C-alpha cells in the first residue's frame, strides 16, 4: 500500500511542479544553472564510459566470431546496434540516475533538512516549481548527451577493433552502414526523453518529501537511485515493446 501511496504522491508532485510558475527572469537563470550542472557536468563521465563500453562490445563480438563464414563486418554492425539501441539511451541513463539523481536528491533533501524549502513556502513561492521545474527543462537536453554517447561509443568500438586487429577499419565501417534503420536512433531519443523526465523527477520526489537529518539525506539518495533505476528498466521494456515490438 505504501508503494501505491508513493506513486500517488509522486503524481501530485508532478502536477504541482507545473502550477504557479516562477518569474521568467529567475527561472531562466535557474534553468541555465541546471543545464550547466546536470548536462555539461555529466559530459566527462559519459564520454569516458562510452568510449570503453563501445570498445568492450567490439572486442567481445570479435572474440565470438569463430566461424569463418560470418563476415567480419558484423563487429561494426553489432557495436552500432548495441550502442544505439541499448547502451547510449539505457545504460547511460542508469549512470545518470546515479550521478545526477543523487545530486538532485541530496541538494533538495539538504534544503528540506535545513528548512530552506519551508522558507520558500512561507514566502509564498511554489517550491516544487522553483526547485524541480528547472531540472526537468534542463534534462530535456539529455538526448544531446545520448547522441554524444552514441558517437563516442561507436568510436571506442572502432579504436578497439583496429588496435586489436580484429578486422580492418573498412570492414568495421561497412558494418556500421549495414542495414541501418534510422528509426532506431529516433527510438533511442524517445527513450532518452522519457528517462530524462524520470531522472529529474524521481530523485526530486525522494529529496523533497524526505524526513529526518543529514544521515537520511544519504539514505534518500540511495533509495532514489534504486527506484530511478527500476523505473528506467521497466519503462525500457515497455517502450521497446511499444516502439519496436
Q: Tell me which residues touch another protein (CB under 8 A).
A: 20, 22-23, 25-26, 114-116, 118-119, 121-125
Shortest distance (Å) from residue 53 CB to another protein = 34
Q: Which is nearer to another protein, 127 or 167 (CB)?
A: 127
Shortest distance (Å) from residue 181 CB to another protein = 45
Residue 84 to residues 8, 41, 96, 199: CA-CA distances in angstroms? 34, 22, 17, 20
Shortest distance (Å) from residue 106 CB to another protein = 13
Q: Which is nearer to another protein, 135 or 166 (CB)?
A: 135
Q: Which is nearer to another protein, 20 or 177 (CB)?
A: 20
Shortest distance (Å) from residue 128 CB to another protein = 13
Q: What are the cell numbers at 148?
A: 554524444
- Rounded to an integer, what distance in angstroms lies between the CA atom of residue 79 and that of residue 180? 12
Side-chain half-sphere of 68: how many Cα atoms within 13 Å?
0
Q: Which is nearer to another protein, 116 or 240 (CB)?
A: 116
* b/e burial code for range 9-24 (CB count within 10 A of at least 16 → b): ebeebbebbeeeebee
- Rounded to an integer, what distance in angstroms lies between the CA atom of residue 186 and that of residue 164? 32
Q: Which is nearer to another protein, 16 or 171 (CB)?
A: 16
Shortest distance (Å) from residue 107 CB to another protein = 9
Q: Which is nearer to another protein, 125 or 159 (CB)?
A: 125
Say if CB 236 and CB 101 are below 8 A apart. Answer: no
CB atoms closer than 10 angstroms to residue 82: 22
Shortest distance (Å) from residue 164 CB to another protein = 47
Shortest distance (Å) from residue 100 CB to another protein = 17
Q: Which of 223, 24, 15, 245 is nearest to 105 (CA)?
A: 223
Q: Which is nearer to another protein, 23 or 69 (CB)?
A: 23
- Please report, to the nearest 10 degrees, the dihedral formed by the alpha carbons of residues 207, 237, 184, 99 taken in order: 20
Q: What are the cell numbers at 169?
A: 577499419
Say if CB 125 and CB 223 are below 8 A apart. Answer: no
Amino acid at each position: 500500500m505504501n508503494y501505491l501511496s508513493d506513486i500517488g504522491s509522486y503524481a501530485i508532485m508532478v502536477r504541482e511542479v507545473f502550477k504557479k510558475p516562477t518569474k521568467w527572469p529567475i527561472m531562466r537563470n535557474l534553468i541555465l544553472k541546471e543545464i550547466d550542472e546536470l548536462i555539461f557536468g555529466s559530459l566527462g563521465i559519459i564520454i569516458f564510459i562510452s568510449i570503453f563500453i563501445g570498445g568492450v562490445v567490439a572486442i567481445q563480438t570479435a572474440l565470438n566470431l569463430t566461424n569463418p563464414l560470418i563476415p567480419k563486418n558484423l563487429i561494426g554492425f553489432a557495436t552500432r546496434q548495441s550502442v544505439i539501441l541499448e547502451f547510449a539511451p539505457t545504460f547511460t541513463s542508469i549512470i545518470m540516475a546515479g550521478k545526477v539523481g543523487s545530486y538532485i536528491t541530496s541538494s533538495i533533501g539538504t534544503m528540506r533538512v535545513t528548512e530552506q524549502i519551508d522558507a520558500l513556502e512561507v514566502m509564498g513561492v511554489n517550491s516544487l516549481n522553483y526547485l524541480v521545474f528547472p531540472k526537468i527543462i534542463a534534462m530535456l537536453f539529455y538526448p544531446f548527451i545520448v547522441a554524444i554517447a552514441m558517437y563516442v561509443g561507436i568510436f571506442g568500438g572502432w579504436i578497439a577493433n583496429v588496435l586489436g586487429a580484429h578486422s580492418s577499419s573498412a570492414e568495421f565501417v561497412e558494418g556500421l552502414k549495414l542495414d541501418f534503420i534510422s528509426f532506431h536512433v529516433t527510438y533511442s531519443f524517445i527513450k532518452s526523453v522519457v528517462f530524462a523526465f524520470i531522472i529529474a523527477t524521481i530523485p526530486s520526489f525522494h529529496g523533497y518529501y524526505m524526513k529526518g537529518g543529514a544521515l537520511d539525506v544519504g539514505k534518500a539518495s540511495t533509495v532514489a537511485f534504486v527506484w530511478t533505476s527500476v523505473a528506467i528498466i521497466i519503462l525500457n521494456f515497455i517502450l521497446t515493446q511499444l516502439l519496436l515490438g
